[in-house]
Structure 1
Amino acid sequence: MLITEGILNRKGATKISDIPDEVLMLLNQGRIESVNLTEWLAVNHISLLKNVLPAIGLNHKLDFILSEMVNQNAESGMKAIRLTGEWLHKVIYEERDQKKKDITRELSNHVSDSVRCWAATMYKNRKCSLEDNLAYIHPFAADRHFGVREIAWMSIREDLSQDIDKSVELLTEWAKSDDENIRRFSIEAIRPRGVWTKHIEALKQEPSKALPILHLLKADPSKYVQDSVGNWLNDASKTQPEWVLSLCEEWSETSDTKATARIIKKAKRTIIKGNTQ
Structure 2
Amino acid sequence: MATGNQTQDRQGLTLIAPPFLYAVLVMAAPLLTIVAYSFLKDGYLTVIREFTLENYRAVWADPIFHKIMLRSLGVAGLVTLVTVALAFPVAYFLSFVVDPRKKSMWLFLITIPFWTSYLIRVFLWKVILGYNGVVNSGLKSLGIIEQPLSFLLYNVNSMVMTLAHAYAPFAILPIYIALEKIDRSLLEAGRDLGESRAMTFWRVTLPLAMPGVVAASLIVFIPTIGDYVTPALIGGGKIPMIANMIQSQMLDQDNRPMGSALAVTAMLIVAAISLIFMAMNRRFLKVRQ
What TM-score do you get using the length of structure 2 for normalisation? 0.20
- State the structure with bigger RCO (CA 8 A, min sep 6), 1 or 2: 2
Higher helix share: 2
- Decide which structure has the larger Cα Rg and report it: 2
